Structure 1
């Protein structure tokens, strides 16, 4: 039996090396010298000082981050969802890669949870111009994220072809339809046939375009089927129909009696005169781009509509409708931009006189109607003692060549109380450049300085613009104070909405009080035009986009 072999150094020499500050002494019985111990202590102190210097900037950086991150983290999910709803443009075409709702749902776990809990982000379906891959999958996924009973907004344009499987997905969610545009014949046909046996309980607004052959309602076809969809659309109040390549037929039964807004495009005069009596009281009707045909002589057609607008209609069509129509409840009559020719002044005046309506607003824009034509309408009504000339409070005219003549005619007879339109309060003149030497305010105030307000659009006076700016600045100052107060108030906890409303309350009351102190002329000055409203929308979109950038950063 062999004897055990010895080794030069103890076998446990490496045992303490990872754990000890002095591993070299564990291999021997020697203790560190004073010099070695002092050097080790000094090295430790040096390392500690270095660590302290490294910790100081990190501490400052942590403080800076804490000042930025907590406000974002403290924003309640309800307000974050409101940010999403305002920043995401739901009107843009469906794009799973760049669409706003799809993007915010991929930022982080919290944003995804909030986005998926907001059905309004997923309830809009606007189809792009170019086909996208896996469309049916994304449609089905988006429909699942907008569950019942949340309303759906669908825009299917003519340039996009949708498979029958995708259309079946939408029809399966028919109970959620609220605002729908069907942009071609194939979708119009499918909808009408489905609606004969399917209820659309929430459908409030419907736009139908039919601009392709074959026709659903051929003019000379015998034994047309009846498409009765009245009971299928109990909530429908807004209807737009474009039958550019179609003849309307009474075989299509629609709930005309419950509509509040009705736009008929490319309709024939007989069809229009058949529809107008079916519309309810207070209905608003727009006739746009209609066919130029003469209606057969018919008895008086009575309609209870309150607003009638002719847009891009020929003189023959306009005259044909006005000669037959009788609208005793009419409050607003418009001949808007794009009319191919001016309406006959005698036809307009005779229609208003015959209707005996209490017309409040007459608007003639883009029709190239001369000063004499506008004044002829007013004078015919005044000579007949028509009711509408006494009730008219707003007159909008466009491209008047001689503003002085117009204003003098409106002010004539003020001393005797025999003015053309004695109760006129607002005159809107747009597209007029012939203002040199015309004291507009003096001419208008000669009628009734307490009630007259003028809106001159593109050719307004510099003094009026300055006053308008001052009024808007005063309004903006109050709103700026309110925004500053909201920003300086901590918004956290379960009662954040109540806190927000409490901060806003005194400033909203201040705005109401400020508006009450305005005169009629000042109110007319701060009335927004369409261009200003568009700019305001752009500013709002920019503000919310900046808010979204802050959240992302």
Structure 2
């Protein structure tokens, strides 16, 4: 129970509802877990329960991903037996059906990634219950195997609301799965782990396609993706994350609609001409920079957003930026294994940003620095990170680009985001810290967050490091042009 004198009780219901929406959206609890999601909100006190039950959208995030854990931790479920039996099954299904009932007619966001090895009987009941509401699916993230594909048959003509679909598997596409179901609103598709892609895509309305897996045959991979582009002229965004270790044969292809490309395979890039390309995401690999420079020259496109992963700012990288110098609006720099040499590299970037005619149209700048969490060196993550390039000069550069707004018609910096998830010290004087806060008050969207002994956080609204760490992916997508994670509240 909430204490009688708690300030929470004085919050208006509308404010509570907004807080609840944000919590449920960020919470990863299964909908059949009584200790998380809307269940825990509705069990705090009478007023919270009233708000939770009055907002069906809170119950529309249908996640089922931890059956093995839930069946072994039934003390937090509405069951009394710790074994997998009919009573446990009924308890889990009771929560699922009650959540579906409380969501009323709201669109559903379904995420169902469960192993078929255990609890096959329970899984069958769960799939049937969720599929019965497929006409309300707004987004769906499903792991499929040949053992369960027949259970999805009812969706074949009932996906009128579906706008985003993610399918995961480590098999070939099951022939029985109705992936060609009628889905007139489907615009975004992601495939993970499949041994082969679908060519052509069976969804004519899809504009954004992503694929993540390992190809055994590099020639087959390249040719398959090029064929996919050739047969799907409507695509505007293509994200390819796969390992293709050897050069492969290729045929040139011009695609007139593609606006966003994310790939790190030089063979794919060398094969394409993209006159409408606006956004590019690349990871540092051998041969990638010459391939990208050739793509930009060949395509004669107006690149607006560039996301660079693990690039040193050498002459070759600067030459790439020079090719899109006058059109680039958004630059994201991500370093996943920060080393001492990277500090010198970032200093070169800062020096270039100080030049008035370098990237004159830049509106958004993001610098994200991590280290590899899988390092065998236990002290690797705690080694201090030299951030001396985030200094008073860096703040002066931001201020200069922010002041350009005072000249009518001149492009100016609107957003600056620096996240360093490492022990580090930022060498900013108090004067420049105050200047940053002043720019925040004037309207510049600026966040500089690091694991600093002083707890440095220069965002306008204070956020701790864990919060900023969680939101970094959303922020990057926002910089790249509005690809925000699903947050449908209505």
Find the aligned partners of 2:425 and 2:123 in 1 and give their Cα distance.
Answer: 54
Residues 28-107 of structure 1 aligned to structure 2 (within 5 Å): 68=5, 72=9, 81-82=17-18, 84-86=20-22, 90-106=27-43
Residues 33-432 of structure 1 aligned to structure 2 (within 5 Å): 68=5, 72=9, 81-82=17-18, 84-86=20-22, 90-106=27-43, 112-127=49-64, 128=66, 129-132=68-71, 133=88, 134=90, 135-147=92-104, 149-159=105-115, 162-186=122-146, 189-190=149-150, 193-195=153-155, 197-211=156-170, 213=171, 215-216=172-173, 229=180, 232-242=182-192, 244-250=193-199, 253-255=202-204, 257-259=205-207, 261-266=208-213, 268-277=221-230, 278=232, 280=234, 283-292=236-245, 294-310=247-263, 313=264, 318-336=265-283, 341-367=285-311, 369=312, 371-378=314-321, 381=323, 388-397=324-333, 398=335, 399=342, 401-402=344-345, 423=361
Find the aligned partners of 2:436 and 2:395 in 1 and give their Cα distance.
Answer: 21
Find the aligned partners of 2:46 and 2:401 in 1 and give their Cα distance.
Answer: 64
User: Is the contact between residue 333 and residue 362 of structure 1 (CA under 8 Å) also seen in structure 2?
Assistant: yes
How far apart are residue 410 of structure 1 and its match?
6.9
Larger radius of gyration: 1
Find the aligned partners of 1:97 and 1:289 in 2 and give their Cα distance.
Answer: 38
User: Is the contact between residue 313 and residue 349 of structure 2 (CA under 8 Å) also seen in structure 1?
Assistant: no
Figure out how many residues of one structure are paired with residues of the other and give that number. 392
SS in 2 for 1:165: helix
Distance 1:130 1:328, change over 3 A: same
Distance 1:121 1:295, change over 3 A: same
Distance 1:295 1:105, change over 3 A: same
Structure 1 gaps of 5+ residues are: 1-64, 218-223, 382-387, 476-513, 542-553
For residues 45-95 of structure 1, give each alpha carbon's deviation from its aligned partner in whole angstroms, at most 9, with x where no partner exists: xxxxxxxxxxxxxxxxxxxx9x959994x8765555555445556531234
Distance 1:177 1:427, change over 3 A: closer
SS in 2 for 1:286: strand
SS in 2 for 1:364: strand
Find the aligned partners of 1:538 and 1:449 in 2 and give their Cα distance.
Answer: 26
How far apart are residue 234 of structure 1 and its match?
1.6
How far apart are residue 178 of structure 1 and its match?
1.3
Between Structure 1 and Structure 2, the one with more strand by share is 2
How far apart are residue 274 of structure 1 and its match?
2.8
Find the aligned partners of 1:227 and 1:354 in 2 and give their Cα distance.
Answer: 40
User: Is the contact between residue 350 and residue 394 of structure 2 (CA under 8 Å) also seen in structure 1?
Assistant: no
How far apart are residue 142 of structure 1 and its match?
2.1
Kindly report the root-mean-square deviation, in angstroms, between the aligned alpha carbons of the 2 structures.
Answer: 4.6
User: Is the contact between residue 123 and residue 142 of structure 1 (CA under 8 Å) also seen in structure 2?
Assistant: yes
SS in 2 for 1:207: strand
Structure 2 gaps of 5+ residues are: 72-87, 216-220, 336-341, 370-384, 405-411, 452-456, 471-490
How far apart are residue 305 of structure 1 and its match?
2.3
Between Structure 1 and Structure 2, the one with more helix by share is 1
How far apart are residue 150 of structure 1 and its match?
0.8
Report the equivalent of 2:427. Answer: 462
Find the aligned partners of 2:450 and 2:159 in 1 and give their Cα distance.
Answer: 34
SS in 1 for 2:69: coil
Find the aligned partners of 1:157 and 1:226 in 2 and give their Cα distance.
Answer: 16
How far apart are residue 152 of structure 1 and its match?
1.5
Find the aligned partners of 1:131 and 1:249 in 2 and give their Cα distance.
Answer: 35
User: Is the contact between residue 97 and residue 129 of structure 2 (CA under 8 Å) also seen in structure 1?
Assistant: yes
Distance 1:444 1:536, change over 3 A: closer
How far apart are residue 330 of structure 1 and its match?
1.5
User: Is the contact between residue 419 and residue 450 of structure 2 (CA under 8 Å) also seen in structure 1?
Assistant: no
User: Is the contact between residue 449 and residue 465 of structure 2 (CA under 8 Å) also seen in structure 1?
Assistant: no
Find the aligned partners of 1:403 and 1:75 in 2 and give their Cα distance.
Answer: 46
